[in-house]
Structure formats: structure tokens, C-alpha cells
Structure 1
């Protein structure tokens, strides 16, 4: 199974924003869309960062309410870890575990192609495991 299959199922819509907007506006967008992270793009639609709930909370802890007026660019994670659409789900899960991240932008031909969360990957992994168990039961039932 590859990440592309998850995108085919869940869709490729990615909520994006510019790094120049405030954390308050970003938090309101994330709340409205009920998401935990957004991708920041430059004027050429290239990934420049990812802003997660953790990033916002971290800035709020450091700066109090003044953090809400900070720009996304000063709070986002700039060293963005991405996966290719052909990356195996197990490899993407390992990357997320190793890097302690919960969201991964998916790229194809150096362009943003989607966004997956740890929840998306775990859901697919569970479904795959259940399908394998069902197939094994069916096979064993036919043998005996």
C-alpha cells in the first residue's frame, strides 16, 4: 500500500495559507475546517512550512496573548518533512514516528499533492490488517 491510495480515498484537498497571516487567523481557519495543521505556501505555491496546533500552543506558552498577532512564518515548522505519493504507508508511518510529527505533506513532481495525518495512515493500516485476517480466515475455512 502506498500513500497515493490514501489520497485517492480521502481526497487531495489541502488547506493552505500564506506565511504572512497572523496566528489568530490561522487558528480560526484551523478551527473552522476542524483540522490540526495547515501547509504554508509561497507565491509560487511551493511549500515553505507547516503550522500545527503544537506550533500555536508553543508560541502562546512563550508569548501569551501577543502570540496571536505573530505571523505564521515566525511560528511554523520550516524544516518540512514530506513524502512522495509513491511512498509506502509503512515507511510514512516510520517517518512520522521517528520525527515525532503527526502530519505529512505529500508531494508529486515537486508540487503539493495532498496531506496525510497519522490518523489517516493508522486507519489504512488497520483496514489492511483486518482484510488480511479475513482472507486468512477464509483460506483456513476452505482448507478444513
Structure 2
């Protein structure tokens, strides 16, 4: 039985670093750096998700426009069509989607509003815990 997104959020917390769509790329990059994270969720009115901005987006913007592009709004390079999940999603489902679509962060929504974020690191940690627990059960069964 795969753990749910809700169980991970209850353990790690529901804090999500966000920025508005008009923040510059330079400001968003500084937020990533200061928080030691790989992505920020871009939110609009009423905390609704309008995009996600990642380290890759910084590299893409510099590669495309040079350093002078860092003054443009984050909305010009963010991913606007954001894959999101609910708290009920299983880690196995999320792992499959993240690897097939090649992204490392998934915002979590509840009633249309942002309530957390799951990274590939969270997914890996959860799977490792599941496997370790399974191994302990097997050892106990064999020793039993």
C-alpha cells in the first residue's frame, strides 16, 4: 500500500514558498537561492496556482535572453500549465507521473487552493521508508 501525499505533507509540513507573477526572474532566482529550493509556485488572486518557476526556467531564460533577461516578469518563462495533485494521490502514482513527464515538483491543491508541495526527494524518501518497513516485516516473519 503506497503512502499518500497527505501523509508526506503531515510529516514535512505544508509550507510552500510562493511568488507573484510580476516578480522579476532575478527576484525569483534570489527566492530559490535564499530558501535552498528548486521551485517556487507562482500564485495569483486568492492563492490560486498560476504557474511554477524552477531552476531550469532560470537557465532557460539566461540561455535564451542573456543576463539582461533577468529583469522580465517570472510569468514570461514560468510553466503555466502546472500538473497538480490532491492529498489523496498515492506516492506510486506521483512517482510515475514525475518520471514520465520529467518534473521534480508537484503542487498540492485542496478545494482549488494551494496546500502543499511534493518534491521528487519527498517521493524517494517515502519509498525508501516503505521498503525499509517491508524488510523489517519480512525479517520479523522469518524470525517469528
Q: Please, what TM-score do these two structures have when normalized by structure 1?
A: 0.97
Aligned pair count reads 142
Ranges in structure 2 where 5+ consecutive residues have no aligned partner: none
SS of equivalent to 1:84? coil
2:94 aligns with: 92
How far apart, in 2, do the equivalents of 1:105 and 1:125 lie? 19
In 1, the alpha carbon distance for the partners of 2:122 and 2:53 equals 18
**Counterpart selection for 2:29 from 27, 30, 34:** 27
Aligned partners of 2:88 and 2:141: how far apart in 1? 30
Q: Structure 1: how far apart are the matches of 2:112 and 2:67?
A: 37
Structure 1: distance between partners of 2:56 and 2:9: 24
- Residues 58-108 of structure 1, C-alpha deviations (whole Å, 9 max, x = no match): 010011101210110001000100011100100011110111100000111
Moved over 2 A (4+): none
TM-score by length of 2: 0.97
Q: What's the RMSD between the two structures over aligned residues?
A: 0.6
1:74-85 to 2 correspondence within 5 Å?
A: 74-85=76-87
Query: 1:43, CA displacement in angstroms?
Result: 2.0
- 5 Å matches for 1:8-23? 8-23=10-25
Structure 1 unaligned blocks of 5 or more: none
Alignment of structure 1 residues 49-68 onto 2, 5 Å: 49-68=51-70
Give 3-state SS (helix, strand or coil) of 1:49's partner.
Answer: strand
